[in-house]
Amino acid sequence: MTIPALQISDLTKDFGGLRAVDGISFQVEQGEFVGLIGPNGCGKTTTFNCISGLLQITSGKINILGKDATGMRPDQIQSLGLTRTFQHTWLWREMTVIENLLVPPRHQFSPNPFLALLRPKSRKAETQRLIDAYSVLDVLEISHIAHHLTSELSGGQSKLVDIGRALMSSPSFLLLDEPVAGVAGPLAERIFQNLRTLTSDRNIGMLVIEHNMDFILRRDVDRIIVMDGGQILMEGTPNEIKQSRDVVEAYLGNPGGMQE
């Protein structure tokens, strides 16, 4: 039996009197590509913040690749192989796209990231890292902007570079918060397909927040988890979700979550 990539049990997060996440349980297998959807404010990002250790949880358990990660710090969680992106992208703006990919992840570098760039482990390791960086750009279909300064990129392109940075750590589990928000339709579809392929090829787990329900229902995801009011309303294949009246009603109650 394989160990689940991520297992959440009865996770609850309160902000003062507000219960943002209300006793949710789910799991994601290795090699599984899962969508997390739900109306604005239903607790998706808070769930990610709890899993990645940025927020202290109120109660529940988090297990990553068979290890109890409950209460761990973000750097400890990252060392278990879990990496994430944020809804709002943060890049080294005066560096090029490829340089951004070559900077070690935030928790690993010395106070000065430029020094880290100048101090490669060995020429062979350096060359391998460069090859990895270009193949990541290829997956994200942004090789053509490798030498552009990130300050010159569109919002959508910046998001892709951010995903690229996450992929550079060779994660065994990836949490992506609205990875294609602001990316034009056809490109967003191709990137989703590429992420899907990557999930299967590298046997990693991927959990992706997406606010556009129409969009995710048409993607090749293994499963979709639908949240509403801090709880899991349902989970199932895109076809099962499509047929569920509960889900449609949750969205009709908040059309903003469906459009945008």
Contact residues for Mg ion, defined by CB under 5 A: 44-45, 87
| Nearest residue (CB) to Mg ion, 47 versus 172 | 47
- Select the residue interacting with ligand ADP from 3, 15, 93, 260 (CB under 6 A): 15
Segment 36-95, which members bind ligand ADP (CB under 6 A)?
38, 40-46
35 near ligand ADP (CB under 6 A): no
Is residue 173 a contact partner of residue 84, using CB atoms and an 8 Å limit?
no
| Nearest residue (CB) to ligand ADP, 166 versus 181 | 181
C-alpha–C-alpha distance, residues 31 and 5, integer Å: 8
Q: Give the strands of the sheet with 59-64, arranged side by side.
A: 18-28, 6-15, 59-64, 67-68
Query: Which two tokens mark 239?
Result: 């076809």
C-alpha–C-alpha distance, residues 38 and 33, integer Å: 17
| Nearest residue (CB) to ligand ADP, 14 versus 29 | 14
| Nearest residue (CB) to ligand ADP, 8 versus 42 | 42
179 near ligand ADP (CB under 6 A): no
20 near ligand ADP (CB under 6 A): yes
Tell me how far the alpha carbon of residue 143 is from its chain's centroid. 21
> Token match 């809804």: residue?
87
Q: Give the strands of the sheet with 205-209, arranged side by side.
A: 82-84, 173-177, 205-209, 33-37, 223-228, 231-236
C-alpha–C-alpha distance, residues 22 and 42, integer Å: 10
Could you say which of ligand ADP, Mg ion, none residue 241 binds, taking C-beta under 5 to 8 angstroms by partner kind? none
Total binding residues toward ligand ADP, as defined by CB under 6 A: 11
C-alpha–C-alpha distance, residues 70 and 56, integer Å: 9
Give least dist CB 122 to ligand ADP, A: 42
| Nearest residue (CB) to Mg ion, 58 versus 87 | 87
Q: What does the binding site for ligand ADP look like in residue numbers (CB under 6 A)?
A: 15, 18, 20, 38, 40-46
